[in-house]
Amino acid sequence: MSRPLMRNFIPQEFTLKLLFGALCFGLSGAARGLDEGLIASTVSEDSFIRQFHLDAAGLSATEKANRLSNVTSMVHMGSLPGAILGFLLCEWIGILWTMRELCVLWMVGLVVFLTSHNLADVYVGRFFMGMGIGQAGVIAPVYLAEISPPRIRGMMVCIYGMSEYLGIFIGYFAIWGASIHISNSSSSQWIVPQSVQAMWAVLLFFLSLFCEESPRFLCKKGSPEKASEVFARLWGLHPMDPAIQTEMRNIRKQLQEEEETTGRYLIASLKELFTQKANLRRIIFIFCLQLLSQWSGPNSVTTYAPELFGLFGISGQDEKLFATAIFGLVKLISALICAVLLIDRLGRKKTLFIGITLQIVSLFYDSIFLTVYSSMSTSSKHASSTIHAAVGSIVFMYFIGIGWAMGWNSIQYLVTAETFPLRVRLCGASLATCIHFGNRIGTSKATPYLLLSSGLTPAGTFWFFTGVSIIGLLFAIFFLPETSGKGLEETNQLYAGLPALQSMSSATGASTSTDASLSLHSDNTGRITFQLKSNTLAH
């Protein structure tokens, strides 16, 4: 590949230090992906089902669904306290050492899980795994956003979301390979693929030895000179380079303004997060975004992929696992394309619009198919036209994954990293991660019940996902600001004002910095005026 072509795909700002940061913190997203990919297929393996009595004869359908959802959602439950622990440790020992600590905690939980003798051991092990994995959701997007030059910040943060699919892909194929080569009468059939997580934790710990601490954390701790040196190593520039000095001025200015208002201590950061109107608007925005994205369906499709592929006519455990493995590969490629080619060049809003639209179309087709299929006679279900329609529904299952990888899954981590100002960034990211995993617990627990005939049924479940996806699209159009190419401190201000007004100003090409004093005026001629403090911008 020629050098000019290489420069189109590898930005000039991508130094060796940034590469180590991207590999360590970016690939930490695979922790959650590995668990999702592995547990989605593990709970359908005969060896696991028999060992932990998930399908015991005396259990009702509801009780079986409850056990299944408990196993799959326990990591999400552990991720809630993990997100809080990650925030506290980051404020105390820094982001870099917190990364190393979470690797150790993840390993401890995994060992307990792999050596389980009963269902209670499974719950405990997976809960502690979640406490480690949940911390990555707080620190990784924030760290990647804080070390990145503005032009490639979207790509850097999206590496975290992309690596989740790398983990899902590896997990799916590990389970599929074990189901072929290891007898289903042996517990090794699920233990061997699960051990991949141990290798990943060791890899992340090793890579962390070559990473730098976040320069913004160093500024918060009163070491601006050291922060400038870290920026210089990360960006491959001299500490006195104008780009670094501009970044440092913005950081110092924001810290000074916030310290004058709230003080220096941790309790002051918490008070600032929950009492300032601008931050409350940010929290409401994050809550709505997570609610609409997590309940739009694709994560449920990922967690219960083998069972859902069975709804569309794929029979046989090996065939289901293979289809699930390809599902992971498709999402990985889609996330990679989004991170490298779309998120910074096309922009956040346009990329999200494409992803959600593709997701809606796919869910709509599968909803129609399941509705019609459930009302067919047995003979009609085996007709050639029905089989062709079922193949189409399987193809659209893959497009659901593509849409999610390009849309919500990439944007949600960027929003977490870009929304909150420096003083409350880790605290806000911790809260956002708690909201995220709270919804993940809900979807993991609810999906088995929704699919039951006594619940929404499979058709009703997919119609529900379609409706939520449509609402999510409208939310993104009207309330998500465009932050491509803007400095990290500048993006914080875009989320401080009313998102609807930000969407209107973005649509007219204006670049504004809004806060709680933003006001709108309209006269009889239809002229709209935005007023910010003493500045007035007319559109």
Based on the fold, state whether residues 59 and 190 are members of the same structural domain.
Answer: yes
Summarised one tens digit per residue, pLDDT across range 511-527 is 333 333 333 344 443 33
279, 497 Cβ separation under 8 angstroms: no
Has residue 32 been placed in a domain?
A: yes
Has residue 443 been placed in a domain?
A: yes
Which tokens go with 83?
A: 């997100």
H helical segments located in 420-487: 425-451, 457-479
Which tokens go with 525?
A: 């001629």
Based on the fold, state whether residues 169 and 269 are members of the same structural domain.
Answer: yes
* Structural domain containing residue 354: 9-488
Based on the fold, state whether residues 192 and 136 are members of the same structural domain.
Answer: yes
Average pLDDT over residues 157-181: 84
Q: What CATH number is given to the structural domain containing 220?
A: 1.20.1250.20
Based on the fold, state whether residues 383 and 324 are members of the same structural domain.
Answer: yes
- pLDDT value at position 377? 67
Has residue 313 been placed in a domain?
A: yes
pLDDT for 262 beyond 80: no
Show which of 466, 488, 510 is a domain's final residue: 488
Summarised one tens digit per residue, pLDDT across range 198-249 is 999 999 999 999 999 999 889 888 888 999 999 999 988 888 888 888 888 8
Which tokens go with 493?
A: 């201000």
- Model pTM? 0.70
Compute the distance between CA of residue 135 and CA of residue 340 in angstroms, rounded to an integer: 25
Based on the fold, state whether residues 456 and 506 are members of the same structural domain.
Answer: no
Has residue 4 been placed in a domain?
A: no
Based on the fold, state whether residues 470 and 503 are members of the same structural domain.
Answer: no
300, 443 Cβ separation under 8 angstroms: yes
Has residue 1 been placed in a domain?
A: no
Summarised one tens digit per residue, pLDDT across range 306-350 is 677 777 766 666 666 667 667 777 878 887 888 777 777 787 888
Based on the fold, state whether residues 333 and 198 are members of the same structural domain.
Answer: yes
489, 496 Cβ separation under 8 angstroms: no
Based on the fold, state whether residues 377 and 407 are members of the same structural domain.
Answer: yes
Based on the fold, state whether residues 148 and 200 are members of the same structural domain.
Answer: yes
Based on the fold, state whether residues 514 and 447 are members of the same structural domain.
Answer: no
Average pLDDT of the chain?
80
Based on the fold, state whether residues 139 and 191 are members of the same structural domain.
Answer: yes
325, 177 Cβ separation under 8 angstroms: no
465, 297 Cβ separation under 8 angstroms: yes
The total number of structural domains that make up the chain: 2
pLDDT for 3 beyond 50: no
Based on the fold, state whether residues 502 and 388 are members of the same structural domain.
Answer: no
Has residue 2 been placed in a domain?
A: no
Has residue 3 been placed in a domain?
A: no
Lowest-confidence range among 3-7, 387-391, 479-483? Answer: 3-7
Has residue 198 been placed in a domain?
A: yes
